[in-house]
Amino acid sequence: MDVIVDVDIKRQRTSVGSEVYKFLNTEENGFSLELIDSHITFNNFLHKLSKKSEANTIVLGRDLVQDYYLKPIKKVFTNQHIISNKNLIEHEIDRLHILDEKLFKLGQVLNLSRVLKPTNYLSELDNFITRNGHYNPKFEYNRPTDKKLHTVHNQIRSLQERYFDYSDGLQSKFTKLFLDKAQELIQKHDLIVAYKQQKYSDILDTNLKLF
């Protein structure tokens, strides 16, 4: 049985939701709780029913966790209503999914963390430290070819025209996010080109636009 496991060190005794309680009390040959991420297993532990917990939840109390180190994580519950129906036109939803997927794939090519980080960063850092700073690193990069960048740029422009510029373009208010994303990808493209060409004024200008 898959369950949600929580920890509450303010509770002395472990409690379980109604669905878990029913399950555990029908296991005649005993039971165990396996925490897969931490490889910890609790066997045949004492538990009480909690009517306040979700049905498929186990809340571990001090009786089980007192011998373990816990990493505290602040839990925040909020209600998020990001996409309201009033911001979407129903017959455009499929086109929005297609546009989203295409922009995502183009964004992978223009991933700045991958494109701008040297492939030999660690080895050059080691050389720099070994020589006590008397070394000028010679970085190597795995950047898209000019042809690839030109193709990606044209594909983004084509998406902008097809989905936004014509009379049959998307009309949902939600599409502004995709329009902004397409423009962001153009700026990422321009930044990578500026780095490849070592045009420092263009690098500064595009960074300001992006960030």
Q: Are 100 and 196 in a shared domain?
A: yes
**Domain assignment present for 150:** yes
Looking at residue 27, what is its pLDDT?
78
Tell me what the pLDDT averaged over the chain comes to. 89
**Domain assignment present for 197:** yes
**Domain assignment present for 75:** no
Looking at residue 67, what is its pLDDT?
87
Structure confidence at residue 78 as a pLDDT band (50, 70, 90): low
Cα 169–chain centre separation? 29
**Domain assignment present for 71:** no
- Based on its alpha-carbon atoms, the radius of gyration of the chain, rounded to whole angstroms, reads 27
Structure confidence at residue 71 as a pLDDT band (50, 70, 90): confident
Asked if residue 202 has pLDDT above 90, the reply is yes
- State the pTM of this model: 0.58
Structure confidence at residue 76 as a pLDDT band (50, 70, 90): low
Higher per-residue pLDDT: 109 or 26:
109
Q: Are 54 and 89 in a shared domain?
A: no
Q: Are 138 and 200 in a shared domain?
A: yes
Q: Are 93 and 169 in a shared domain?
A: yes
Q: Are 35 and 105 in a shared domain?
A: no
Asked if residue 62 has pLDDT above 90, the reply is yes
Structure confidence at residue 88 as a pLDDT band (50, 70, 90): confident
Phi, psi (deg, nearest 5) at residue 33 = -110, 120
C-alpha angle 34-40-42 in degrees, rounded to nearest 5: 60
Phi, psi (deg, nearest 5) at residue 43 = -110, 135
Q: Are 112 and 57 in a shared domain?
A: no
Structure confidence at residue 25 as a pLDDT band (50, 70, 90): confident
Q: Are 95 and 190 in a shared domain?
A: yes
**Domain assignment present for 73:** no
Q: Are 98 and 40 in a shared domain?
A: no
Looking at residue 77, what is its pLDDT?
66
Q: Are 118 and 202 in a shared domain?
A: yes
Asked if residues 2 and 56 have their Cβ atoms less than 8 Å apart, the reply is yes
pLDDT in tens, 112-145: 998 999 999 999 999 999 999 999 999 999 899 9
Domains: count for the chain = 2
Domain extent, residue 149, equals 85-210
